[in-house]
Amino acid sequence: MRDVTPNLAVLLVEDDAHVRLGCEQALQLEDIEVQSCDSAERAMRRISADFSGIIVSDIRLPGMDGMALLAEARAVDPELPVVLITGHGDVSLAVRAMKSGAHDFIEKPFSPDYLVEVVRRALDKRRLTLEVRSLRAQLENRGQLEERLIGRSPAMARVRQLVASLANSAADVLIEGETGTGKELVARCLHEAGPRRSGNFVAINCGGLPETLFDSEIFGHEAGAYTGAGKRRIGKIEHASGGTLFLDEIEAMPLTMQTKLLRVLQERTLERLGSNTPIPVDCRVVAATKTDLKLLSDEGRFRADLYYRLNVATLPLPPLRERREDIGLLFEHFLLQASARHARPAPAPDAARLARLVAYDWPGNVRELRNVADRCVLGIEAGYPPFGDATAASASTLAESVAAFERNLIADALARNGNSLARAAEALGVAKTTLHDKLKKYRLG
């Protein structure tokens, strides 16, 4: 995974072009990232719950002034540092700003060095606040993630770690995984564990959206935009503003649609059909693919610029055959769900059944395992893989089946005993040296 630690930037709000340019240059010479705008209204379009910078704003602005900007910005994030620039002699205004929650104030005229000094203090405070916030979020989400992203394997522990690390960031994420590995579930976990959880989670199946309906569904339309458009419709991207936009099967999106989507993702604005008014959108983008997008882009079948736009952080999901030690736990979980759903008792644990489950290659991954659990509860599993005659298609030898079953038992014993070699060996009834050798054999160490 790439480093997705947010770059702390200064959002500079100043309507005087000469003052704005001077402040920009002073900060840039000190390698401080700065973004500028000439009004508080434009500044507020860039401020969201996951805004990772600070604000430096003049108090006297056309339209909304700096005090109003301070109030609105702190309503979005009460811990967001706002530094206000006051005119000479506006001491009472500066005092009122500090009482209203401003981090600091700078009185005109000021030197470039003083501006940099104040900004650095504010950035240091912001950095510490975001680090503490991220750690708290990870601790709060850890238990929830373990309940939803089930598995004791190192591969699933890594997935949960990535989700916890990425959830509180603004980074766009590309989820890679085979069919049935749980890409949408992971996308929902990213949404629900992050600061945008109160916003909408909007899922778009890029492979199932007709090209003729793309503009209307994605961007929305105004009344009368085309025949049959009787009233305004809010598109899916606009509906996701403030939340998460999930683009499933992104590899199936036609190139013409990719071009339109790319522009929206770059500009973070869109225009409804039948309108020339740009609408700002503020959504996190999570895309999912079951193929290698880099390979598709190299072959000219997927836009390279869209690939790099989406691929800020990559979250790979392992296929079920690469985490066989999780199969028993997942199966029991799905059995209980199926039992409640169908109002039938769950079948008793069966070692022979578990051995077959562990030995099977699961081309449909977790989704296929869930279907098998349903069949077992309904009593119709015979004839379906991995049971009945179809089991022969698995191509697993007896030795491979036994080895897979043994690996699963050892992994389960370790997990139940806090990864203690001694306690796991005692639970399994084997010597510690024997268990140590098997850990090496199955690469469980």
pLDDT tens digits, one per residue of 197-229: 889 999 999 988 887 788 888 999 998 888 877
Domain ranges (residues) in the chain: 9-133, 149-318, 321-441
The C-alpha angle with vertex 376 and arms to 371 and 379, in degrees rounded to 5, equals 125
Q: For residues 313 and 171, what is the distance between their CA atoms, to the nearest angstrom?
A: 7
Q: What is the predicted pLDDT for the residue at 45?
A: 87
Lowest model confidence (mean pLDDT) among 1-10, 114-123, 245-254: 1-10
Residue 392 confidence (pLDDT) above 50: no
Q: Which whole number is the average pLDDT over 62-75?
A: 91
- Of 27, 25, 28, 89, nearest to 59 by C-alpha is 89
Look at residue 357 and give its three-state secondary structure.
Answer: helix
Q: What is the predicted pLDDT for the residue at 390?
A: 42
Cβ neighbours of residue 247 closer than 8 Å, sequence gap 6 or more = 204, 206, 253, 261, 285, 286, 287, 288, 310
Q: What is the predicted pLDDT for the residue at 420?
A: 85
Q: What is the predicted pLDDT for the residue at 6?
A: 52
> Cβ of 366: how many Cβ atoms within 10 Å?
24
Q: What is the DSSP string of 213-240?
A: GHHHHHHEE-TTSSTT--S-EE-HHHHT
DSSP E strands in 359-434: the ranges are none
Q: Which whole number is the average pLDDT over 278-295?
A: 94
First to last CA, the chain: 23
pLDDT tens string 75-113 = 889 999 999 998 766 777 778 888 888 999 898 889 999
Q: Are strands 269-270 and 279-280 parallel, antiparallel or unpaired?
A: antiparallel
> Taking the domain 149-318, which CATH number applies?
3.40.50.300
Q: What is the predicted pLDDT for the residue at 28?
A: 93
Q: Do domains 9-133 and 149-318 have the same CATH topology?
A: yes
Contact between 294 and 316 (Cβ < 8 Å): no
- 137: confidence class by pLDDT, cuts 50, 70, 90: low
What six digits make up the tokens of 266? 């770059």
- 2: confidence class by pLDDT, cuts 50, 70, 90: very low
Give the total residue count for the chain: 445
β-strand partners of 287: 174, 247
Q: What is the predicted pLDDT for the residue at 202?
A: 96
CA dist 112 to 20, 94, 119, Å? 12, 20, 11
- 180: confidence class by pLDDT, cuts 50, 70, 90: very high
* Number of Cα atoms under 13 Å in the Cβ half of residue 77: 21
Mean residue pLDDT of the chain comes to 87
β-strand partners of 245: 202, 285
* Torsion angles phi and psi, residue 121, rounded to 5: -65, -40
- 393: confidence class by pLDDT, cuts 50, 70, 90: very low
CA dist 433 to 393, 406, 436, Å? 36, 16, 5
Residue 336 confidence (pLDDT) above 70: yes
Look at residue 279 and give its three-state secondary structure.
Answer: strand
Return the percentage of the chain with pLDDT > 90, whole number. Answer: 51
> What is the amino acid identity at position 54?
I
Q: Which whole number is the average pLDDT over 321-344?
A: 91
Return the percentage of the chain with pLDDT > 70, whole number. Answer: 92
Q: What is the predicted pLDDT for the residue at 7?
A: 67
Q: For residues 207 and 214, what is the distance between their CA atoms, to the nearest angstrom?
A: 11
Highest mean pLDDT among 180-184, 390-394, 399-403: 180-184
Residue 4 confidence (pLDDT) above 50: no
Q: For residues 427 and 413, what is the distance between their CA atoms, to the nearest angstrom?
A: 7
- 149: confidence class by pLDDT, cuts 50, 70, 90: very high
pLDDT tens string 404-431 = 777 777 877 787 777 888 888 888 888 8
Q: Which whole number is the average pLDDT over 352-361?
A: 87
Q: What is the predicted pLDDT for the residue at 441?
A: 84
Q: For residues 47 and 242, what is the distance between their CA atoms, to the nearest angstrom?
A: 11
- 443: confidence class by pLDDT, cuts 50, 70, 90: confident
β-strand partners of 285: 245
Contact between 246 and 283 (Cβ < 8 Å): no
Q: What is the predicted pLDDT for the residue at 391?
A: 40
> Taking the domain 9-133, which CATH number applies?
3.40.50.2300
